[in-house]
A and B are shown apart, each in its own frame.
Chain A
Amino acid sequence: MSSRLLNQIGLFFAALVIVSPAILFFLWMISLSLKFEIDNGAYPPILIPERFAWSNYVKVFEENNFLLYLWNSVLVTGTATLLALLIGVPAGYGIARLKAEKSAVVIMIARMTPGLSYLIPLFLLFQWIGILGTLWPQIIIHLVVTVPIVVWVMIGYFETTPMELEEAANIDGASSWQVFRLVALPIAKPGIVVAFILSVIFSWNNFVFGVVLASRETRTLPVAVYNMLSYEQVSWGPLAAAALVVTLPVLVLTMFAQKQIVAGLTAGAVKGG
């Protein structure tokens, strides 16, 4: 019994060691964001300052238009995710029922393609139809990220849901659409939640599309944070606070929906290739 306990303690410390880079990074990030300039420049570095600089967070929102960029991010991620669910959930259902697993290759190729190769042609297209100053180019191009995720997760989910109920409804004379809407969709709710969460995270985090397509008014948060950096802003406190503001929604989501995220990622990954 005691050797088993020792074994557990050993494993706990091994896990602690391998998790420590993550713990230390996030602790340091919080520390940087809550220190005044003088503490951030101190040597040796200070982890917990005597006075907390909450003003760093105020500065982020007051001086950098962050509320606007936050709203842009919400609009781009929200719209791109909802559109992806609207077309991707039925598509995942159709592909699973058609047993057209080969179409998964298309999604795999979409994953292999570097984001930049979508950007050049779509940039020209958006310029040509004259919507470059709006949020639409970013919403549309985020579909490149969100649609494959949703379709991928939903194919996997609908493949595991039982066919018997659908067949019974079909025999009773329900149309394909009724079967989908009233039988398949309610059962698929957990799968839709997984697809939604993953789609939100990867759309929210996306940087490369925004850096090309966003103008001053249409920046999303990752682009806004990058711009703060490139303006050689020397004060680290507000910079770290801004970085934390950008990534906090995603980290909170990760904490609360860990199970779904792990299920979605591993299912997708294991089925991949």
Chain B
Amino acid sequence: MSTIAPERTGVTTERTGTATQAIEESQTIRLAPNYWPFVVPALVVVGAVIVFPWAFTLWMSVNRWTLGQSRSFAGMENYLRLASDPRFWESLFHTLTYTSLSVAAPMFLGTVAALIFDARFPLRGLLRGVFVMPMMATPVAVALVWTMMFHPQLGVLNYLLSLVGIPPQEWIFNANTVIPSLVAVETWQWTPLVMLIVLGGLASVPREPFESAEIDGANAWQQFRYLTLPMIAPFLMIALIIRTIDALKSFDIIYAMTQGGPGTASETINIYLYNTAFSYYDIGYGSAMAVVFFIVIVALSFILLMLRQRSQWNDVEGK
């Protein structure tokens, strides 16, 4: 338990820092109401279900520990093993392929959808409602129905392909097509989130610049490229960051449809991590993998956040 303490105090001191600052500020106005009791219960829960697991994971990762066997200190052994594990590198490659495709496709389609739904037309509200539904549907239920639709003999997708003269595919049952097929499901489910975020951005775009651009004879593409795009850039960045984090973490769809198969063709880090910890019960090694996985997510998010800072600067200059 001793390893947990510094982590916790670290968080609290940081918070007290901002607290004293805030209290000082409000004291200059009038009697300062004490807001801390409101936050304490949540802090306790966050400490128990979020901070504690993190500290414990770090500790497990430096131990040789398979459930049901005795535990011994291992130092960096698990991390070194990770570096020389070809299955881990393969899963990292799958994760990055899966993520880049599952970010690019929803970003493009979501932006197009937002541009359409930003305009006025009949039944707009109803269609938007239906468009948002995939995002809210239970992922496992969705995965199950997609699995039936991907069925090589009886699936409806191969029938639809045959209508336009394309030969039947093996979809998730072939190592070469499994990742793109899973990406299609992920895209189907998460394009609406990108659409909603970009739609929020479009709602904040002022009308006047477009009117003057129209007078100056700018065509629709020029208006989009030089007016709309720079103005919604911060929203696109937010969508990009959220989508990247979610795609990296994707589990339900992949696990329910292929469990990483055929073979290990669609095994992402998350799936490999699950198998290591809960099929082989190697929780020491699994924890090391969780730590490295978290670092990958934070690093990628950080790079995107830096890009976001830059896009905001451009935005300010643009105005």
Binding site for B on A (CB under 8 A): 8-9, 11-12, 14-16, 18-19, 21-23, 25-26, 28-29, 32, 40-41, 43-45, 86-88, 90-91, 93-95, 97-100, 102-103, 106, 109-122, 124-125, 140-141, 143-144, 147, 151, 167, 170-171, 176-177, 179-180, 201, 204-205, 207-208, 211-212, 221-223, 225-226, 229, 236, 239-240, 242-244, 246-247, 250-251, 253-255, 258, 261-262, 265-266, 269-270, 272-273
Question: Which A residues lie within 8 Å of B88 (CB)?
Answer: none
Docked-complex contact B30 and A167, CB < 8 angstroms: yes
Interface residues of B in 238-280 (CB under 8 A from A): 238-239, 241-242, 245, 248-249, 251-252, 255-256, 270, 273-274, 277-278
Question: Bound state CA distance, A121 and B148, in angstroms?
Answer: 35
Docked-complex contact B144 and A212, CB < 8 angstroms: no
**Known contacts A112-B297, A270-B238; is-contact A43 B154 (Cβ 8 Å):** yes
Is B54's CB within 8 Å of the partner chain A? yes
Q: A111 is contacted by which of B37, B137, B245, B286 (Cβ under 8 Å)?
A: B245
Question: Bound state CA distance, A243 and B43, in angstroms?
Answer: 37
Q: Mark B15-38, 1 if CB is under 8 A from A, else 0.
A: 100110010010000110111111
Is B117's CB within 8 Å of the partner chain A? yes
Docked-complex contact B19 and A243, CB < 8 angstroms: no
Docked-complex contact B301 and A112, CB < 8 angstroms: yes
**Known contacts A97-B33, A117-B54, A247-B138; is-contact A269 B270 (Cβ 8 Å):** no
The smallest beta-carbon distance between B220 and chain A, in angstroms, is: 11
Question: Which B residues lie within 8 Å of A265 (CB)?
Answer: 193, 196
Q: A18 is contacted by which of B109, B199, B249, B297 (Cβ under 8 Å)?
A: B109
**Known contacts A91-B39, A97-B35, A258-B129; is-contact A143 B120 (Cβ 8 Å):** no
Docked-complex contact A262 and B196, CB < 8 angstroms: yes
Q: Which of B45-53, B73-81, B172-180 contacts A (4 or more CB under 8 A)?
A: B45-53
Question: Bound state CA distance, A261 and B19, in angstroms?
Answer: 32
What are 11 A-B contacts with C-beta separation under 8 Å?
A: A28-B145, A29-B145, A106-B11, A110-B46, A118-B49, A120-B57, A205-B140, A239-B148, A240-B145, A243-B140, A247-B138
Docked-complex contact B54 and A15, CB < 8 angstroms: no
Docked-complex contact A15 and B121, CB < 8 angstroms: yes
Docked-complex contact B53 and A266, CB < 8 angstroms: no
The smallest beta-carbon distance between A96 and chain B, in angstroms, is: 9
Question: Bound state CA distance, A178 and B19, in angstroms?
Answer: 21
Question: Which A residues lie within 8 Å of B294 (CB)?
Answer: 112-114, 117
Docked-complex contact A18 and B131, CB < 8 angstroms: yes
Is B42's CB within 8 Å of the partner chain A? yes
Docked-complex contact A204 and B196, CB < 8 angstroms: no
**Known contacts A269-B196, A270-B238, A273-B241; is-contact A91 B290 (Cβ 8 Å):** no
Which residue of chain A is the closest to B14 with respect to CB atoms? A102
Is B119's CB within 8 Å of the partner chain A? yes
Most interface-central of B117, B137, B277 (chain A CB within 10 A): B137
Question: Bound state CA distance, A25 and B46, in angstroms?
Answer: 38
Docked-complex contact B140 and A98, CB < 8 angstroms: no
The smallest beta-carbon distance between B11 and chain A, in angstroms, is: 7
Question: Which A residues lie within 8 Å of B5 (CB)?
Answer: none
Q: B293 is contacted by which of A117, A119, A207, A212 (Cβ under 8 Å)?
A: A117
Q: A114 is contacted by which of B39, B127, B200, B290 (Cβ under 8 Å)?
A: B290
Q: B278 is contacted by which of A8, A102, A212, A239 (Cβ under 8 Å)?
A: A212
Docked-complex contact A91 and B42, CB < 8 angstroms: yes
Which residue of chain B is the closest to A113 with respect to CB atoms? B294
Is B6's CB within 8 Å of the partner chain A? no
Question: Bound state CA distance, A93 and B142, in angstroms?
Answer: 36
Most interface-central of A90, A212, A266 (chain B CB within 10 A): A266
Is B104's CB within 8 Å of the partner chain A? no
Docked-complex contact B130 and A22, CB < 8 angstroms: yes
Question: Which A residues lie within 8 Å of B199 (CB)?
Answer: 266
The smallest beta-carbon distance between B9 and chain A, in angstroms, is: 15
Is B92's CB within 8 Å of the partner chain A? no
Question: Which A residues lie within 8 Å of B101 (CB)?
Answer: none
**Known contacts A113-B294, A222-B138; is-contact A170 B31 (Cβ 8 Å):** yes
Q: B116 is contacted by which of A18, A25, A208, A251 (Cβ under 8 Å)?
A: A18
Question: Which B residues lie within 8 Å of A207 (CB)?
Answer: 138-140, 251-252, 255-256
Question: Which B residues lie within 8 Å of A124 (CB)?
Answer: 56, 283
**Known contacts A120-B57, A244-B141; is-contact A269 B42 (Cβ 8 Å):** no
Q: A98 is contacted by which of B22, B130, B241, B305 (Cβ under 8 Å)?
A: B22
Is B231's CB within 8 Å of the partner chain A? no
Question: Which B residues lie within 8 Å of A151 (CB)?
Answer: 42
The smallest beta-carbon distance between B8 and chain A, in angstroms, is: 12
The smallest beta-carbon distance between B213 and chain A, in angstroms, is: 18
Q: A247 is contacted by which of B129, B141, B252, B305 (Cβ under 8 Å)?
A: B141
